[in-house]
Amino acid sequence: MEQALLLEHVSKRFSGHTAVDDLSLSVPAGTIYGILGPNGAGKSTTLRMVMNILIRDAGRISLLGADPERDREVLRRVGFLPEERGLYRKMNVTDVIVFFAELKGMDRRQARRDAGEWLEKMGLGEWKSAKVETLSKGMQQKVQFIATVLHRPELLILDEPQSGLDPVNQEVLRDTMLEHRRQGKTVLFSTHNMEQAEQLCEAVCIIAQGRKVLDGTLKEVRRANPGSGYVVEFAHPSAEVDRFAADGRRFGTFTPTGEGWRVELAPGADTRALLAALNQLDAPLVRFEREQPSLHEIFVRHVGDAAHPHRVAEAPHA
Amino acid sequence: MHEVMIVLRREFLERVRSKGFWIGTLLTPLFLGALFILPAVLGAGGGREHTLVLVDEAPAGVGDAFVRTLTAPSDDEDADSYRVERAAGPLAQVRADLNRRVLAEEIEAYVVLPADVVQSSEIAYRARNISSFTVQRGISRAASQAVQQERLREAGLQVQEVASLLRPVQLQAARITEQGEDAASAESTFWLAYISGFMIYMLVFLYGINVMRSVLEEKTNRIAEVIVSSVPAGRLMVGKILGVGSVALLQVAVWVGLGALGAWKSNAIAERVGLSPEALRTVSVEPWVLAATIGFFILGFFLYATLFAAVGAAVNSDQEAQQYQTIVFLPLIASLLFMLPVINDPLGSTATTLGLIPFTAPISMSMRLAAAALPPAQVATSLALLALTVGVMAWLSGKIYRVGILSTGKKPTLRELGRWLRAA
């Protein structure tokens, strides 16, 4: 299968506002895919529709090749970690994990064995028979995570998985996501943290106010959103270069960066003429490249004001 | 269907594993038993021996008759017995000494039969503690007999003759059923109807609230979202209600077991409670009546559990639940308010009407089934109406439940609930 998840023109309206508006995206199988957007952009609503928790108003969803609304069985092959985590407080840790795994169709004894292994791996071996309410918040999140992945889903859907995790546990989560990808499985997660997405994702979709802003592989996104500046470096410092930089108005603005310069090209300036001029200088040119904007910069450039929408209270009517 | 079983299993095991369940299950009958038996046992004094002194100033024969009646051996081994000692002289002489002996606890009390007892009908009883009714009743009965005998003798009548003239009438009650006459006493029938109605009320109430709390927990802890991503909400609701219902049935089974044990020892219990042994033994319940009662209990629980589940899903906290749960309680409480009219006239129009309204049927019908022989067709109609209503209510509650467990924020207004019903 090429696509783990395919959304075509999906929309969801709540009383009075459109949470998701004509959204299309495709998540290639075997990748880590990020849905990025500010709070209230419609990320959670999208994931809830994928999991058939909310019923979409329009559009088509193909989850692992099936429509989750018609074929609920497909949901068993998916692991879902909702944004707001929940466990039975009075239950014992292993029982909770086994219960959720059983609902996904896993054999009880198998689930019990695997739960023990996962708890050991996550450093919770001593807590396997403890009541959930006696665990710290971080530990509870680990338990919830184990409950999400125990049935070995082909696709992991994590809604804001990093929120509320301390740096150590963020690392644990990152490793688990990478481990899943190594096993050929797909990870889809939502976040508003661009740095994180940049480190982990192969492909992203940025949405704002329920609409898609852009999507594609990171490489494609970067190529489609080149920076306006160039990075220029020379083999050694030179007075002639300094003079050229100070005088280089016909090409654009030169800003020193420590190792060299950042050149913001003037409108209509010719890149090849600039390169030729730089090559005439006495110090050898060692670097001349298009600036790579960070995902964050791309995001801000596209989303702008939409980054701070008014969040409308969600009242789902399934 | 397998998913329903998984949810059911969790709901059942989590409850049955808790200490609270077993404490409640075992303490309730103990508590109820104690409520009946303790006063009887304590009030009876448990067959103690009492040492009294009699100050006899009465006409000859009265004192002897009093002592004879009081110390006569009883067939009841639990009855109190008396040792009576006669005072050496008239009250004026022995009073100070008797008071001292009572205070020193050498004797329990002294009784004075004054010289004019036949005319005045008054005797005196002096003790440190005058709260034991059985002792005072025993003494007063013995003195009355002694005085009455003396009066009859003065009037020239024979005691036995008068006693046989004044013998009271005994009422023998029996229910007429399809199978003929059933010699249950009114007393035992009343208690059976009362207990079966009240038990169903209590169980439906407690376990209904239990379902509501459990739904609310899943909602406020955001567990619902995780589960609904694996299991359709309707199956979650059904699994939960069946799970909690199984716990209730287990509890009833334990109680019935204890009850059977009690019935086995019913002679001893009846004696202590003061019912005649026949009263308990003759409560015979036909199998179909028992089955119908259990049917009303199960369907009644389903009816209210689905409503409570909807309430739990609609609100966000226990406080908010109060308001809606009152609406659900009303028909339950109404059935209790009509308890006496229904038991007193189980075939009357009030009882019949309440028995046909599905919301009051579970409690009213269980009381009527115990109190009278109902036409089976009427029972079947009531059960069918109830089952139908359970179906409709489960369907409506399911809609509210599906939307409710995933929505947070403010409590929905009735209009919003209406929209939920239309939307789902």
Taking residues B35-41, what's their average pLDDT? 65
Q: Where residue A316 falls among pLDDT bands split at 50, 70, 90?
A: very low
Distance from CA of A264 to the nearest CA of B (A): 49
Helix B186-220 to helix B361-371 angle, to the nearest 10 degrees?
A: 160
Question: Does B3 sit within 8 Å of A103, measured CB to CB?
Answer: yes
pLDDT in tens, B363-406: 999 888 888 888 889 999 999 999 999 999 999 998 888 888 88
Taking residues B1-14, what's their average pLDDT? 90
pLDDT at A70: 87
Among the residue ranges A87-96, A284-293, B213-222, B269-278, the one predicted with the least confidence is B269-278
Chain B residue with CA closest to A68: the answer is: B229
- Return the higher-pLDDT residue of B43 and B328: B328
Chain A residue with CA closest to B214: the answer is: A88
Percent with pLDDT over 70 in chain A: 95
Q: Where residue B238 falls among pLDDT bands split at 50, 70, 90?
A: very high
Among the residue ranges B212-216, B244-248, B292-296, B315-319, the one predicted with the least confidence is B315-319
Dihedral angle computed from the Cα positions of residues A38, A40, A44 and A45, in that order, rounded to the nearest 10 degrees: -140
Distance CA A1, CA A4 (A): 7
pLDDT at B180: 57
pLDDT at A314: 44
pLDDT at B179: 55
Closest partner residue to A103 among B6, B419, B423, by Cβ? B6
Distance CA B85, CA B314 (A): 76
Taking residues B143-150, what's their average pLDDT? 88
B216's enclosing H/E stretch is helix B186-220
pLDDT at B296: 92
Nearest to A228 by CA among A278, A194, A262, A274: A262
pLDDT at A32: 94
A21: helix, coil or strand?
strand
Taking residues A92-110, what's their average pLDDT? 93
B281: helix, coil or strand?
helix
- Return the higher-pLDDT residue of B356 and B409: B356
Question: Does B221 sit within 8 Å of A318, measured CB to CB?
Answer: no
Closest partner residue to B423 among A51, A86, A317, by Cβ? A317
Q: In what order do the strands lie in the sheet with B109-113?
A: B81-86, B49-56, B109-113, B124-127
Q: Which two structure tokens, joined as six digits, stand for B260?
A: 């059977």
Helix B266-273 to helix B233-264 angle, to the nearest 10 degrees?
A: 80
Question: Does B407 sit within 8 Å of A99, measured CB to CB?
Answer: no
Q: Cα–chain-centroid distance for residue B20?
A: 22
pLDDT in tens, A191-204: 888 888 888 899 99
Chain B residue with CA closest to A147: the answer is: B226
